[in-house]
Amino acid sequence: MLGIYRHGTSLLHSARPGVKLAGLALMAIALFMPASPAGIVAVSLGAAFTTVAGYGIARIPARLAIAQIRPTLWILGMILIFHVIMGDALIGALIVARFILLIALAALVTLTTRVSDMIATIEAGLKPLRRFVDPGRIAMCIVLTIRFVPVLANEAHALQEAQAARGGKRAGPGAFIRLAVPLILRGLRLSETVAEAIHARGFGRNGSHRDRDQT
Render pLDDT for 78-132 as a digit per residue (tens, 0 to 9): 888 888 888 888 888 888 999 999 989 988 988 898 877 887 887 888 788 778 7
> In the prediction, which pLDDT does 52 show?
93
The stretches in the chain having pLDDT less than 50 are 1, 206-215
pTM score > 0.75 for this model? no
Cα four-point dihedral sign 129, 125, 48, 50: positive
> In the prediction, which pLDDT does 203 show?
61
167-174 long-range contacts (CB < 8 A, ≥24 apart) are 171/81
Cα four-point dihedral sign 85, 90, 95, 96: positive
Domain boundaries, the chain: 1-113, 115-215
